[in-house]
Amino acid sequence: MSHPSRYKILFCIRQGTIGGGESHLIDLIEFLDKEVYEPIVLSFSDGAMITHFLERNIATYVIHSKRPFDLQVRKEVNSLLDSVLPDLIHIHGTRAFSNLYFAKIKKTVPIVYTVHGWSFNSNQSYLRKFLAIQAERLFTRRSSKVINVSRNNQMTGEQHIKKFQSEVIHNGVNLTVFDKQKLYPSIRIELGIPADAFVIGFIARLTEQKDPFTLIHAFSAYSKENALARLLIVGDGDLKDACVSLVHQLNLQDLIVFQPFRKDIPALLQAIDIFCLPSLWEGFSIGLVEAMAMGKAVIATGVDGTLEILKDHENGLLIAKKDTQGLINKMGLLFTNQDLRIRLEAKAYKTISSEFSAHRVSQRTEAIYKQLLK
C-alpha cells in the first residue's frame, strides 16, 4: 500500500548492533504513525538492528565507517540524500552526526538531533573533552531541534554550550515486548544455572562507562557469603577480554556466566533475580528501564539520568560510583529482605508503565516532527 503524501524521515545512527540508542530507534519506528511518516534508516555499520528493519520492510541503508568526521563516506552519504530526498532528518548520537555534518543537506530540511548521552565527560583528558564539546556545539547549532533523554543531560548541555536549548523526552520501553506476565524460554536451563540460584544480572556494553570491574569484584566478595549467588553478564565491548580474565584470576568461572549480546532480553531478564548497573555516568539507561519493566529490583549508581528514574528504597536501590562495599551490602539486602525486594519490584514496574512507555516517547517525538514540518 503506497502513501504518496507521507513525510520521509531519514533516521541516522552510528551502528547496526543493538545497544541503548538502537533499541530506542527500533521502538520509535515501531510506534511511528506510518500513515503520516515513512521511515528510512541509515547506519554506519551492520548488525542485528539492520536485520530487524529489513525484516519489517523498512528501507535501510548501511554506509560503512569506523571513525568520526569520516570524509571518505561523504560521497556515499550525499548520493543517498539525493536519492531519498528526506523531508526531515533525525540523527541519533554524535558519531552519526559527525558523518552527516559535511553532507549536502538542503537548508529547508529540518534536523532533529537526539543526544543519547554527550560525547564529552569528566573522565576524559582536557584536550579530548574540549574537542568533544566543540563538536557538540557544531551539531546542536546545526539542528532545528535537540532532544535530550534526561534532564541531567539537558543541564550539562546548558553548562557547556552557549544559548543551548532542548526538549527532554525520556527513553521508554515497549511494554508489549517487555511483558513480565509472559512466559519465556528458560534461560536458566539453557545456561545450566541452578533453579534455586540467586542470579544477579548485568546486561550492558562492557565498557569503562558501565564499570563491570566493580561489579565483578563486589560479586566475588558477595559469593563468599552466599553460596547460591550467580552472576550473568550479557554484552560485548572493549573490556570483555579483561572481564573474562579477571573472572579467571578470581577463580569465579563456575559462578559467573558470560553471554554475548543477545536479542532475547526479556527472557534474560525473566531469568534473573536482581539487576545491577554500576555506571560511572549515564544519559538515560534503556537497560535499567527494561529491567524495571520486567518487574526486577534494581541496584544502580546514583548518576545523571538514573536519578530521574530511581528513588532510593522506593523503586530501586542506589549506590555511589565505584562503591564495591555498598554494592555487596545491597546484594545481600535484596537476598535476605524478601519484603523489600517484592515492594521494589512492584514499584519499579509501576514507574515504567506509567511514565516511561515507548508509545509515549513516539507520540512526543512526532509532535516535534509536526511542528518542524508545518
Grid coordinates representing 174 are 515497549
pLDDT of residue 3: 60
**What's the CA gap between 318 and 174, in Å, rounded?**
25
Q: What is the pLDDT of residue 305?
A: 84
Measure the CA dihedral 269/272/273/275, to 10°: -60
Give the pLDDT confidence score for residue 2 in this predicted structure.
52
Q: Which residue is listed with cell 555506571?
A: 279
Q: Which CATH class is domain 7-172+357-373?
A: alpha beta
pLDDT value of residue 51: 95
Contact 349, 293 (CB under 8 A): yes
Q: Which CATH architecture has domain 187-355?
A: 3-Layer(aba) Sandwich (3.40)
Q: Where along the chain do its domains lie?
A: 7-172+357-373, 187-355
Radius of gyration of the chain (CA): 21
- Cβ distance 117 to 139 under 8 Å? no
Handedness of CA 332, 334, 337, 340 (dihedral sign): positive
Closest CA to 328 of 278, 269, 272: 278
DSSP 259-321: E---S-HHHHHHH-SEEEE--S--S--HHHHHHHHTT-EEEEE--GGGGGT--BTTTBEEE-T
Burial class (CB in 10 A: 0-12, 13-18, 19+), 195: exposed
Three-state SS letters, 14-81: CCCCCCHHHHHHHHHHHHCCCCCEEEEEEECCCCHHHHHHHHCCCEEEECCCCCCCCHHHHHHHHHHH
Tens of pLDDT along the chain (374 residues) come to 456 689 999 999 999 988 778 989 999 999 999 999 999 999 999 999 999 999 999 999 999 998 999 999 999 999 999 999 999 999 999 999 999 999 999 999 999 999 988 999 888 999 999 999 999 999 999 999 999 998 988 999 999 999 999 999 998 999 999 999 999 999 999 999 999 999 999 999 999 999 999 999 999 999 999 999 999 999 999 999 999 999 999 999 999 999 999 989 999 999 999 999 999 988 788 899 999 999 999 999 999 889 999 999 999 999 999 999 999 999 999 999 999 999 999 999 999 998 899 998 999 999 999 999 98
Question: Hey, what's the cell of 144?
Answer: 532545528
pLDDT (0 to 100) of residue 121: 84
Q: Which residue has the cell 506509567?
A: 354
- Angle (deg, nearest 10), helices 126-142 and 151-160: 100
Residue in 122, 136, 167 with CA at minimum distance from that of residue 149: 167
8 Å CB contact between 308 and 150: yes
Report the C-alpha gap between 316 and 301 in whole angstroms: 11
* Fold match, 7-172+357-373 / 187-355: yes
